[in-house]
Amino acid sequence: MTASRSRSTAPGARLAASSAAGVLAHVVVDHRAVDVSIAVAAGECLAVVGPNGAGKSTLVEALAGLLPIDAGRVVLGGVEASGPRRTVPAHRRRIGLVAQRPDLFPFLDVLGNVAFGPRAAGAGRATARRRARHALDAVGVADLAGRDPRTLSGGQAQRVAIARALATDPTVLLLDEPTSALDVGTRDEVRAALRTAVAGRPAVLVTHDPVEVVALADRVVVLEAGRVVEEGTPATVLGRPTSAFAATFSGLALVRGTATAGGIALDGGGELTSGTHTVPPGRPALAAFHPTAAVLTRDGGGPARTVTALEARDGLVRVHAGELVADLTLPALTAMGVRPGDRVHVGVAAAEVSVYAPRG
C-alpha cells in the first residue's frame, strides 16, 4: 500500500498473480484531497477504517463508479473500470453494494426485491427468481421470500439486502458500514450472513466496528486525511497499532519513545517496563497497553504527568495525563479526588505493555 502517487505500484507488485480476480485501485480525487491505493486478492476481505472525512466514502464511491477519479486506475476482476481513457458505468461494473440501510423496494415482496438485480441484468424471470431463492437461502432468510419488506425487522431487511447483492453474482462486494444502523442484538446474525457473502470473493468493508473487522476481514488499511497510514492483518493493526486512529479504534493507548533493555523510555519522560519486548535498546519504539490496565497514584508507581482532561467512557472515567491514559471507576476517581491540573503517576504492569518497532 502507499500513501503517495510515487509509490502507487506497490499493491500491484504484491498481487501480480491474483489481481485479475480481485481489486487493484489507485483512487485520486483532487477536490476531496484523496490519494489512496488498495489491492484486494481473490477471496480476500479488506477492511477500510479511519476517522470521518478520511476518504472511506470517496474510495467506495470510486470503486462503485458513482464518483469519477481525477487520476489513477480501478481494476475489478481484471477489467479496467476507471482509467485515463475508460470509465465503466456503475450499472455495468458487477459490484454488489450493501450499505448502512437496506432500502428495499416497498412495491415488491422480498423475493421480487432480490430477483430485481438479475432481471435488470437480463436474466429471465424464472432464472432470476431461482437465483434469488438461492441467495436468500445462503443468508438464512429463505422463509421470508413472500413477505412485504415493510414488515421486516432491521436485521431481516439487512440480510435480504445482502441476498440482493449476492443474487447478481458480483465480481466485488462493497460493504459500507453494513451493521451500523442495527441494534447490538441483531448484528451477530447479520455478520453471519456477511461471512457467507464474502466467502470466496473479493470484498471491501468500510466499518467503524472493530468486532466486524475481526469477524470478517483478512487485512486492514487505515486512512487518515485521504492517505493510507497503516496496514496489516487485524491482529497486527488492532494488537500493535502504529497510528493514532488505529490505537483508538482498538481501544489501546499508544505511546512513543526509545527502547530500553526492559521496556521503553517515553518521549515525555519516565519509563514503562514490558513483558513483550522485541526492540533492541536505543531504537525508536512504540508501546501499547489497555487503559484499564493503568494504575493511577498520587506518588510513585510510574511516570509523572499532569492531568489534562477527564472523559466519561463506557461506565468508566478516562483520565488523560499527557500522552498516558488510565480508565478508572467513578468511585475510585472520586476517592482520589483527581482533577485536571493535578500531578499524578501512571503505572502499568509489565505483562500489560507491548513494546514493538514502528512499521514502515
From CA 132, how far away is CA 22, in angstroms rounded?
24
Q: What is the pLDDT of residue 86?
A: 80
Same-domain pairing of 118 and 172: yes
Q: What is the pLDDT of residue 91?
A: 87
Mean pLDDT of the chain: 91
* Coil, strand or helix at 162: helix
Is the confidence at residue 109, as pLDDT, over 50? Answer: yes
Same-domain pairing of 176 and 270: no
Q: What pLDDT band is residue 143 in, cutting at 50, 70 and 90?
A: very high
pTM of the model: 0.88
Same-domain pairing of 151 and 36: yes
Tally of domains within the chain: 2
Q: Are 202 and 23 in contact (CB under 8 A)?
A: yes
Return the H-helix or E-strand segment holding 346.
strand 343-348
Q: What is the percentage of the chain residues whose pLDDT exceeds 90?
A: 84
- Asked if the structure places residue 251 within a domain, the reply is no
From CA 35, how far away is CA 28, in angstroms rounded?
4
Same-domain pairing of 196 and 277: no
Same-domain pairing of 82 and 220: yes
Place of cell 471491501: 204
* Coil, strand or helix at 81: strand
- Asked if the structure places residue 252 within a domain, the reply is no
Q: What is the pLDDT of residue 360?
A: 64
* Coil, strand or helix at 53: coil
- Asked if the structure places residue 253 within a domain, the reply is no
- Asked if the structure places residue 250 within a domain, the reply is no
Q: Are 172 and 95 in contact (CB under 8 A)?
A: yes
Q: What pLDDT band is residue 21 in, cutting at 50, 70 and 90?
A: low
What is the per-residue DSSP string for 219-284? EEEEEETTEEEEEE-HHHHHHS--SHHHHHHHT-EEEEEEE-SSEEEETTS-EEE-SEE-SPTTSE
Query: What's the mean pLDDT in 337-352?
Result: 96
From CA 206, how far away is CA 58, in angstroms rounded?
11
- The model's pLDDT over 69-86, given as tens digits with 9 standing for 90+, comes to 999 999 999 899 998 778
Domain extent, residue 347, equals: 261-356
Q: What is the pLDDT of residue 193?
A: 93
Q: What CATH number is attached to the domain comprising 338?
A: 2.40.50.100
Return the H-helix or E-strand segment holding 327.
strand 324-328
- 233: closest CA among 252, 248, 246, 224? 246
